[in-house]
A and B are shown apart, each in its own frame.
Chain A
Amino acid sequence: MPRRLEIRGLTRRFGGVAAVRSLDLAVDDGEFVSLIGPNGAGKTTTFNMVSGLDRPDAGEILFAGEPIQRLPPERIAALGIARTFQHGRVFANLSVEDNVLLGAHTRLRAVKPSIPLVGPLAELALALIRPARVKREEAALKDEAREILGLFGDRLTPRLDHLAYSLSYANRRRLEIARALALRPRLLLLDEPTAGMNPTETEEMQALIAALKTRGMTILLIEHKLDLVMHLSDRVCVLDDGAKIAEGTPNVVRNDPAVIEAYLGHSGIGRARSAEAVGP
């Protein structure tokens, strides 16, 4: 039985710098794995390769046993991998609802028949004629989009037809997750979902992610807020300088000396602080 996601010997170099070095990582069905590490450790680069936006220099990425490292992003999305972006990439001039509906793009069936060659033309014709089947599909997706937005309480639902650029930063991050959920992902990649959120908003987000986990969703998370990571993860993988330095349950990782060193530097927190105060 192949694992949901399996990364073997993944390497990516930018010029002379190895952003990711022979990384091995696996995620099982229904598992919640977190990827942590200092800035520049290669976490987002890994996400970019898994979602097809970047190509590895070496190594393999298997999704349910299929190699995907050479596939374009749209094919990977069609396989069921959804991701959010570190800095938020919602579609600024689209409404909240349209942003979520776009997330369901890979699930359109009635309007996007898979006929070779004339497929695009058939899609154009169906979009213009809109037979009952197509209308039903669109209506069902709209209902579902509202349901997904409902997960965020009254943060997004009252703003259904607001354009995304008018949302607050935190709401844009929420919208990103809503869009990802609309894909009905078999693997959800979350890149710092609580970046720039205050403690209340972070707690809210944590509850939401916990709910997704309870539903059995397979999640790979990048996050700096260790509280949240330790709370939710089944397993934590720690990257530093492109390489994996530790992996295990939150408890094991928390006490790993290599992890403590990577996070706090060689000489412990006290001296790091005094060095900062003195300045360069």
Chain B
Amino acid sequence: MTSFIDYTVNGLVIGNIYALLAVGLALIFGVANLINFAHGSVYTIGAYVGWAAITFLHTPLPVTMAIVAVVCAFLGVAIERIALRPLQGKARIAPLLATIGLSFVLDQLVQLVCSPDPRAVPSDLPDWRVSVGGVSLGAMDFLIAAVGIVSAALLYGFLRFTKLGFAVRATAQDREAALQMGVNVNAVNSAVFAIASALGGLGGLLVGMYYNHIDPAMSFQATLKGVVAQVIGGVGNVPGAILGGALLGLTESYGIALFGTSYRNLFAFALLIVFLLWAPNGLFRTGSGVSAEPLVGTFVAPSRPIRLPRWAVASMAIAAFALPLVTSAPYLLQTLTNAWLAAVLALSLTLVAGTAGQISLGQAALLAIGGYASALLALDLGAPAIISVPAAALITAALGTLLVFPAFRLRGHYIAIATLAIGEIVSLVILNWEGLTGGAMGLTGIPPLSFVGRDLDSNRAIYWTCLIVVVIVALLQNRLLGSHLGRTLRAMREDEVAAQSYGVSLDRYKALAFAFGGFAAGVAGAITAHLYSYLNNQTFDSQLSLLALTMVILGGMGNVLGAIVGAVVLVGLPELFRVAAEYRILIYGIVLLLLVRFRPQGLLGTV
């Protein structure tokens, strides 16, 4: 019984931190209609600023908190300036992508400046604990509770009684009308980003002190948890975010109590999916489901794709095939092999996200399914690669489609959140289903690719195999785009309501897009598994999903050739120029930011 109360207290304390994150996200969503993916980065930076202040300046706690709040508030204002203000009126997805790019940049900067190793945050809090009804509470618990309650009260007062607070609420209800009435919407946005970021930074500091541990990798998880808490409370709903945070904290805490720590995130994402499916408007809003506005109309940047003449594309393909005849430099061939595999992933994503308009942030999970399926078929059943790879692709197509099927009725940002969560769930199931997947230890000794009894072990053979896969997938996808399916998928992307009114069954065509994409990604995942001969739950992580999205945007959404170009540029070039790994993510982030700002239609244009 005591331990139950302990877990409850623990859940509420962590829930408080989630609430701090979610409140910020909700405020930002309210005024800017944007899920700020850089929010977790602010949280991390808050933790590091606090750590630096305590370690180097030996500041007392109140001063540390003030420094963190001020630095993060300025960071928030900067984020608004970079990721939001210049993108007003651009495609609706643009600010979201910009915040993803910013989070890459910020996280990587933290890692470069402070090293990727975890740090301990010294706390000058007194060491006393009090026992209330058999539960032992420390100063830290009280501090977190106090910060939560005080900031909620201040926020309430601000929104309710100040002039700027009125302006924030007016902007949240109707940005255009507020603008017409003389509200300085930019100032409102700045203020909201400042407040949200100050709260997020404080959350990071408190978590660092609570666990006495901070590291740069905490950012992504923090964003996810904040988003989950926000969806539970109703996206954009501030009181809802507080309750959502508490509910998420408790669910996680009880989940840990029942099943152990490695299940913690599984519970968080399962809760998210439950809410997305049964109460997509959160706890507080009822009504007719997600808005039916034609939100997708401006989802992709309108443009005329650049069409290269056939002979040009053909000669590029021939050059790619001929390359191993000219050179046998293993480094070059291996690098390009990686680029070809990335290109298959990008092709699958550009169909789903670009052509069908279902922005998927969990595409790497398909690689994982394909990789594990082929590896297990080979290891457990002794299937040769010629059978296990296509079989794995079919399994990926079926399983991938089934997993996202419940999310088909979601729109806009929600489908992105859902696919992100589904991707995380796949990775967590792999981690926890030790009997099948080997858990964190992974699978070892996956046999190499073979063809009619001969192992493909030369770099050339592997290079050609992967290139052939790219060419086949690209040709098939091109043919698909030229058929009635291409037209139907794109119509669905442009306006689901109009498409449905003309007889397009949304479920059917979304399923077709995911199945085709799943098949391609499954092939890529399976081949990767055989090439690496080793897989674990982190081989295909969510960062790869975001990288794939960057490739797709670089090439032009829905653009087949663009996806290949995007993959070669982002995977091949940094490798060839031997850019150190830690700078690569930074480059990806900057590329994404620049693209969204200056060339949202990508290099070759949206199709």
A183 at the A/B interface (Cβ < 8 Å)?
yes
Report Cα–Cα, A72/B504, bound state, in Å.
10
Residue B480 lies at the interface, judged by CB distance under 8 Å to chain A? yes
- As a 0/1 sequence over residues 66 to 109 of chain A, the CB contacts with chain B under 8 angstroms (1 = contact) are 00000011100110001101000111111000110111011010
Residues of A in contact, count (CB < 8 Å): 38
B residues less than 8 Å from A120 (CB atoms): 508, 511-512, 515
Q: Identify the stretch in B96-104, B489-497, B559-567 within 8 Å (CB) of chain A at 4 or more residues.
A: B489-497
Contact of A89 with B498 in the complex, beta carbons under 8 Å: yes
Min CB–CB distance A237 → chain B (angstroms): 22
List residues of B (483-524) whose CB comes within 8 Å of A's CBs: 483-485, 487-488, 490-491, 493-495, 497-506, 508, 511-512, 515-516
Evaluate whether A124 and B512 lie within 8 angstroms (CB atoms) in the complex, with A74-B505, A89-B495, A130-B483 already known.
yes
Is B479 part of the contact surface with A, judged by Cβ < 8 Å?
Answer: yes
With a cutoff of 8 Å between Cβ atoms, the chain B residues found around residue A78 in the complex are: 503
B501 & A83 in contact (Cβ 8 Å cutoff): yes
Q: Tell yes or no: B292 within 8 A of A by CB.
A: yes
- Tell me whether A64 is interfacial, beta carbon within 8 Å: no
Closest 8 CB pairs of A and B: A106-B503, A77-B503, A127-B483, A91-B494, A89-B498, A73-B500, A127-B485, A102-B491
Contact B302 A163 (CB under 8 A): yes
B 295-326 to A, binary, CB cutoff 8 A, 1 in contact else 0: 00110101010000000000000000000000
Pull 28 A–B residue pairs with CB atoms less than 8 Å apart, ordered by A.
A53-B497, A53-B501, A74-B500, A74-B503, A74-B506, A77-B503, A78-B503, A82-B501, A85-B498, A89-B495, A89-B497, A90-B498, A91-B491, A94-B494, A99-B491, A102-B488, A102-B491, A102-B499, A102-B504, A106-B502, A106-B503, A111-B483, A120-B512, A120-B515, A124-B480, A127-B480, A128-B476, A163-B304
CB distance from A57 to the nearest CB of B (A): 12
Q: Which A residues touch B294, using CB under 8 A? A: 89
CA distance A78 to B488 in the complex (A): 15
Given contacts A93-B606, A179-B502, contact A124 B490 (CB under 8 A): no
B504 is contacted by which of A99, A105, A165 (Cβ under 8 Å)? A105
Q: Tell me whether B497 and A102 are in contact (CB under 8 A).
A: no
Chain A residue numbers with a CB within 8 Å of B505 are 72, 74
Q: CB within 8 Å of A: which residues of B? A: 292, 294, 297-298, 300, 302, 304, 476, 479-480, 483-485, 487-488, 490-491, 493-495, 497-506, 508, 511-512, 515-516, 606
Residues 124-168 (chain A) with a chain B CB within 8 angstroms: 124, 127-128, 130, 138, 163, 165
In the complex, the answer to whether B491 meets A94 with C-beta atoms within 8 Å is yes
- Cβ of A24 under 8 Å from chain B: no
A165: chain B residues within 8 A (beta carbon) = 302
| Chain A nearest Cβ from B437, distance in angstroms | 29
In the bound assembly, the distance between CA atoms of A72 and B479 in angstroms comes to 30
Mask: chain A, 42-63; 1 = CB below 8 Å from B; 0 = not? 0000000001110000000000
Q: Indicate whether A183 sits within 8 Å of B502 (C-beta atoms), given known contacts A53-B497, A92-B494.
A: yes
